[in-house]
């Protein structure tokens, strides 16, 4: 029996219509289909191209949490600065009211001169660099059209970004050579105040270590004096004596704790400066090293001029006397370069022959 072409066409139409009829019967409401389509678009946006990786997915999922942290940090910035001032002032008050009279009455004249000179020099360096770190703008890329080179466009500012520039969610703008946002400064650490931030951390660490070492014996005596011994009666200490002992214990515990924590942070930043990179660039360069290693190549940081030259550029040392006038003494000189363009050397070169 031969099949008629018209019969075959009729059969095919019936087969195609049956699924359509079933889909029509089970068709979901419009609002359900709209929600489903929106969720599908959100899911597909996480892997929309080959450049998407786990970091992009992580940032997309936790974006509300990051926004909350940025908002809270921005709001608490003033509180953190107030805490730094109050805690430092309390240690300073104890040093003048309690420790200085003990030093003058018990130490020899050479040791008195050492403690007075070093203590006040360290105090001046801490106060100067903290003030400059908080009040100096880290540096921002130009907002008007210019001929400065740029490497990307910020997706949040929708403005050109020069090399080593990153967007700060707390400051809500791009920062030149951004290292990180420091809540204790209530300011970003960037090109123009990076040296002030590191010097503040360095001299505050030295000050805490100095107080911790020089006050160790006083701390032991004060701790033993307030420790309760039930076998022998407590010595007749006056209220003033008790307050002095508690003040010494407070000073030693605070300076020792801050000295260890801040010392570790200072050491980490010293390593980064020696490598010629920032905290953000450390993360980026680590990924580049892995990516280049897979291709059998070695990645070299284009902004590293060698360990010694990196320190010269960081501190702005242009002649030998600057190691004293710009490193060991308060100095408000501007950093090397404008933060928009950078000298890139394929090999190590003595950028500043000092």
User: Which residues are paired to 180 by β-bridges?
Assistant: 189
Q: Any idea which residue has 């660490």 for tokens?
A: 205
| Neighbouring-strand partners of residue 174 | 167
**Cα distance between residue 18 and residue 8, in whole Å:** 16
- Catalytic residue of the set 174, 182, 188, 211: 182
Tokens standing for residue 161: 């970004």
User: Does residue 185 contact residue 128 with C-beta atoms inside 8 Å?
Assistant: no
User: Using CA atoms, how far apart are residues 181 and 190, in angstroms rounded to an integer?
Assistant: 9
Among all chains, which residue has been given the structure tokens 């400066």? 273
Asked if 315 and 322 touch (Cβ cutoff 8 Å), the reply is: yes
What is the distance between the alpha carbons of residues 124 and 298, in angstroms, rounded to a whole number? 44
Per the DSSP assignment, residues forming a β-bridge with 182 are 187
How far from each other are the two terminal CA atoms of the chain, in whole angstroms? 103
Alpha-carbon distance of 344 to 354, in angstroms, equals 20
Which H or E run includes 2?
A: none
SS3 call for 107: coil
Is 154 labeled as catalytic in the residue annotation? Answer: no
Q: In the Cβ-directed half-sphere of 50, how many Cα atoms lie within 13 Å?
A: 0
Which amino acids are annotated catalytic?
182
């Amino acid at each position: 029996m031969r099949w008629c072409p018209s019969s075959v066409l009729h059969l095919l139409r019936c087969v195609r219509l049956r699924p359509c009829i079933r889909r029509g019967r089970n068709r979901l409401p419009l609002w359900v289909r709209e929600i489903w389509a929106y969720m599908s678009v959100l899911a597909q946006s996480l892997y929309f191209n080959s450049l998407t990786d786990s970091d992009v997915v992580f940032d997309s999922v936790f974006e509300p949490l990051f926004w909350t942290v940025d908002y809270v940090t921005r709001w608490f910035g003033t509180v953190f600065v107030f805490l730094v001032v109050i805690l430092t002032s309390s240690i300073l008050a104890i040093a003048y009211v309690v420790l200085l009279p003990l030093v003058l009455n018990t130490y020899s004249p050479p040791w008195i001169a050492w403690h007075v000179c070093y203590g006040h020099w360290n105090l001046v360096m801490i106060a100067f660099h903290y003030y400059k770190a908080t009040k100096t703008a880290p540096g921002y890329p130009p907002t008007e059209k210019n001929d400065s080179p740029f490497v990307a466009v910020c997706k949040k500012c929708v403005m050109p970004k020069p090399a080593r520039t990153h967007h700060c969610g707390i400051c809500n703008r791009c920062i030149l050579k951004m290292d990180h946002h420091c809540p204790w400064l209530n300011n970003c650490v960037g090109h123009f105040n990076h040296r002030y931030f590191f010097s503040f951390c360095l001299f505050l660490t030295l000050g805490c270590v100095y107080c911790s070492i020089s006050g160790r014996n006083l701390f032991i005596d004060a701790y033993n004096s307030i420790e309760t011994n039930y076998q022998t009666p407590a010595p007749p200490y006056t209220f003033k004596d008790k307050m002095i002992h508690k003040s010494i214990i407070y000073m030693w515990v605070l300076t020792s704790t801050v000295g260890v924590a801040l010392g570790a942070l200072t050491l980490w930043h010293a390593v980064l400066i020696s490598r010629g990179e920032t905290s953000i660039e450390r993360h980026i360069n680590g990924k580049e090293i892995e990516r280049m290693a897979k291709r059998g190549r070695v990645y070299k940081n284009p902004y590293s001029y060698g360990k010694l030259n990196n320190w010269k550029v960081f501190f702005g040392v242009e002649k030998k006397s600057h190691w004293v006038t710009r490193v060991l003494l308060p100095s408000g000189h501007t950093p090397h370069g404008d933060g928009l363009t950078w000298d890139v050397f394929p090999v190590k070169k003595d950028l500043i022959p000092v």
